């Protein structure tokens, strides 16, 4: 199934594509400024989640706040992976240089890509993510850079979720950096600035 999206071609010589994934109730416009802060010269593929929850866009269904519909999560994770594969062909970007930038529900589907498909992204910026699935072995992520932005008092993604996620990803070999803010679920400028600095170093090697 296709997904509503925005594709913006980056500058000549910049072969990264940022895969932007919004939070619950957002759309493909939401994270464009964030992509600009992380790498203004990168190509952008900003996608709208296909699930409609009472008029709010999401990337997969949930049974309750923080309780995911696993069957739908698995289906939607494949849907997103297939969509990115197809978009790389259609728009001619390098599939091996896709870096996910997701917030909240968007971070959770990005995390789910890692949990189900392993090295399917060059790197990931997960802003206020949860553990997408429990009780499965995370595939090999050796050397894959992952930035996690978290809030000490995040009521939607409790601190323990972040710690468990970091443990799972590190256990699979990913190179994880966690940025903690003394706040809740909201995105902060400081967090995005830290993600941008991490990206320059860990993804671009500058
Ligand atoms: C989710 O459902 O993905 C998380 O609870 C975050 C959110 O509220 O979107």
Q: How many domains, the chain?
A: 1
For 72-85, what is each residue's pLDDT tens digit?
A: 999 999 999 999 99
What lies within 8 Å, CB to CB, of 76 at 6+ separation is 49, 50, 51, 59, 60, 61, 109, 112
CATH number assigned to the domain comprising residue 99? 3.40.50.1820
Report the residue among 77, 108, 165 best suited for mutation to probe ligand 1: largest number of ligand atoms under 8 A from its CB: 108
Would the pTM of this model clear 0.95, i.e. be above it? yes
Measured from the Cα of 66, ligand 1's closest atom is 5
For 85-105, what is each residue's pLDDT tens digit?
A: 999 999 999 999 999 999 999
List the domain range (segments joined by +) for residue 12. Answer: 5-202
- Residue 73 parent element (H or E): helix 70-91
């Amino acid at each position: 199934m296709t997904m509503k999206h925005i594709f913006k071609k980056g500058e000549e010589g910049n072969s990264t594509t940022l895969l932007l994934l919004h939070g619950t109730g957002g759309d493909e416009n939401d994270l464009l400024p964030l992509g600009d802060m992380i790498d203004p010269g990168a190509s952008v593929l900003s996608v709208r989640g296909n699930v409609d929850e009472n008029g709010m866009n999401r990337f997969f269904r949930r049974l309750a706040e923080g309780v995911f519909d696993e069957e739908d999560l698995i289906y939607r994770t494949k849907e997103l992976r297939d969509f990115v594969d197809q978009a790389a062909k259609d728009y001619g970007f390098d599939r091996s240089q896709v870096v996910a930038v997701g917030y909240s529900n968007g971070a959770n589907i990005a995390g789910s890509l890692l949990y189900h498909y392993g090295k399917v992204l060059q790197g990931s910026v997960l802003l206020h993510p949860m553990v997408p699935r429990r009780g499965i072995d995370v595939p090999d992520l050796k050397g894959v850079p992952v930035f996690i932005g978290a809030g000490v008092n995040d009521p939607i993604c409790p601190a323990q979720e972040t710690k468990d996620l970091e443990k799972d990803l590190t256990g699979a070999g990913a190179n994880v950096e966690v940025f903690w803010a003394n706040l809740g679920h909201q995105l902060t400028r400081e967090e995005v600035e830290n993600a941008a600095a991490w990206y320059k170093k860990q993804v671009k090697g500058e």
